[in-house]
Structure 1
Amino acid sequence: MEEVLAGACSPSLPLFNTMIKFCCGRRKFLFNRAFDIYKKMLKYDDAKPTLETYALLFSTLLGKFNRLNVSYVYLHAVRLLARQMKASGVIPDTFVLNMIIKAYSTCLEVDEAIRVFREMGLYGCEPNAFTYCYMIRGLCEKGRVNQGLGFYKEKRMKGLVPKGSTCMILICSLAMECRFEDATEVAFDSLGNSMSPDLLTYKTLLEEMCKDGRGNDAFELLEGFRKRDSFMNEKTYNTLLNGLHFLSRE
């Protein structure tokens, strides 16, 4: 790599992309080297970065989004890379756009995520299940639960099945806003797709109902969940039941 970067051979797009792929596969040690190669590519007319190049670089950047405070640091690089890709005339695909949306959503820059989502049609791309999951999660974590629910409904209308973790975030967010009918609908929709909410999700929904003075409804709903959820064991059921009994006595 050092010899190539020093100009030991003619610029070659396959060679540069191969080196970037090698560096991206070793994120911890050669992360910066991948971008050195990318900058080198920008100088050659016959070895300009392609969609493959950008996909590799975005994937590497997203690999750094493991903690929120660190994510904000790398979001600037994602934004800059997206601008350069657009300026160079490279047309992104759904995979690349999803990574950009995920970056914005992770950092709660949801308006930017929505902007990229709305631009997908301009590139001939269709949002997939991952696209909607990133949007729903980001909007709920930002506190814009109604918009998150809107994306959830749009996703279901298209026949796309949401991830279980996305449903759980949406259920909890709706419950915290006392939107129990919507939360229950999402919960049963999740069960209908063989995805069982976890204990925390059930606990949040049922206990928020109880705190809102709808204890009887919470007990009935628990029994409904027990009948529909083949994965709910006795320990989970008893934990939830005891929690409702405790709240009903307060």
Structure 2
Amino acid sequence: MAQDVLSSVISRIGECRSNELVEFMWREHSKYESDFSVLDSLMRAFVNTDMGSQALKIWDRMREVRIRPSLSAVSIFFALLIRVGDYGSVWKLFRDMIQRGPCPNIFVYNVMILGFCRKGCVRTGESLLFLMRKYGCEPDVIAHNLLISAYCVRGWTSHSLNWAHFMAESGCEPSTATFVTIINALCKEGNIVEARKIFEEMQEMGVSPGTVTYNALMDGHVKAREIGEANMLYEEMRTMRVAPDGITFNILVAGNYKYGREDDRFLRELSMMALIPDCSISDMSISGLCWAGRLDEALCENPKNIYKPMHISFAFLILK
């Protein structure tokens, strides 16, 4: 609550007058709270209001009175500095932490890796992953996944595959998110063969594919016009007792309308199996017709409900 109040006051009075607030709070503060409490609250408030230069002054004052910043405050401070591109201050404070504490933990490293990857500095994020081992901090699955995701976003799928193998060899078990990220990237590139290979590898490693994983591969098969393979994946989901969701059905309906069956047998089968409510059948039918480019038929489908703004089918019609 104190941080929220301070953030509100600072945002109102502006950066120029914020020094007055700092001195007001520091004056005789020892009568009611500690040095750390005052300075930590102020630093967080300045970070919350995107005043990095003022937060840096509070950091310096912390060092003057020989107190250590909290790791949680450091992490949000680093996120701000990286976001605004003040990399010099990031490395200056990082060196200060190594020398005087507190030593960065895995959360701080992950925040830095995420920040640099979002800025396109993937190599810097990669270097941080190796650097953390030097200072006794073992990279976790999140650190590896951040880099793998960054490589996939930039189309460097081969690098992401190498990192997946590297993390497994390092004793860090890939998670479902690791495989989903890579499978999605491969499917977007049209490399369904490799995506299927990764899908099988994850099961060999003891990682069971969930709904999101099946959806990613299924969508890849549909986009490759392999609707038969997509339908087989759906049958496999049912056999493995993996619950399909709305995304699963929309992928299949769109694929069957566009590349598969010309009639509505697939939708009728879903309705007969009572897997989804009847009201959703109409929405998915309209969505599928839209994806297939059959807009006239979509407009004629269930006209009484089509113009309800909350319906996903109406959204598809507008987008198309």
TM-score, normalising length from structure 1?
Answer: 0.71
Question: What are the equivalent positions in structure 2 for 1:37-116 lying under 5 Å apart?
Answer: 37-42=58-63, 44=64, 47=66, 50=68, 52-53=69-70, 55-62=72-79, 73-77=83-87, 80-87=89-96, 89=99, 90=101, 91-116=103-128
User: Are 1:34 and 1:57, in contact at CA under 8 Å, matched by a contact in 2?
Assistant: no
Partner of 1:67: none
SS of 2:224's equivalent in the other structure is helix
- Check 1:135–1:229 CA distance in 2 against 1; reply closer, same or farther (3 A cut): farther
Question: What is the CA–CA distance in structure 1 between the aligned matches of 2:95 and 2:185, rounded to whole Å?
Answer: 35
**What is the deviation of 1:128?**
0.6
Alignment of 1:1-250 (within 5 A): 2-3=22-23, 15-23=34-42, 26=45, 28-29=48-49, 32=52, 33-42=54-63, 44=64, 47=66, 50=68, 52-53=69-70, 55-62=72-79, 73-77=83-87, 80-87=89-96, 89=99, 90=101, 91-157=103-169, 158-162=171-175, 164=177, 166-187=178-199, 189=202, 192-193=207-208, 195-197=210-212, 201-210=216-225, 214-228=226-240, 230-233=242-245, 236-245=247-256, 246-248=258-260
Partner SS state of residue 197, structure 1: helix
Structure 1 stretches lacking a partner, 5+ long: 65-70
Q: CA shift at 1:202, angstroms?
A: 4.4
Equivalent position amino acid for 1:160 in 2: E
Between structure 1 and structure 2, the one with the greater Rg is 2
Label 1:241 to 1:195 Cα distance change in 2 as closer, same or farther (>3 A).
closer
CA deviation after TM superposition for structure 1 residue 186, in Å: 4.4
Q: CA deviation at 1:205?
A: 1.6
Segments of 5+ residues of structure 2 without an aligned counterpart are: 1-20, 262-291, 293-320
Q: What is the SS of the residue equivalent to 2:211?
A: coil
Q: Is the 8 A contact 1:94 1:126 kept in 2?
A: yes
1:110: how far off? 0.4
Which deviations, in whole Å up to 9, do the C-alpha atoms of 1:18-57 show, x marking residues without a partner? 3343246555348555433113234x2x516x4x445513
Is residue 167–residue 186 contact of structure 1 (8 Å, CA) maintained in 2?
yes
The Cα shift of 1:209 comes to 3.1
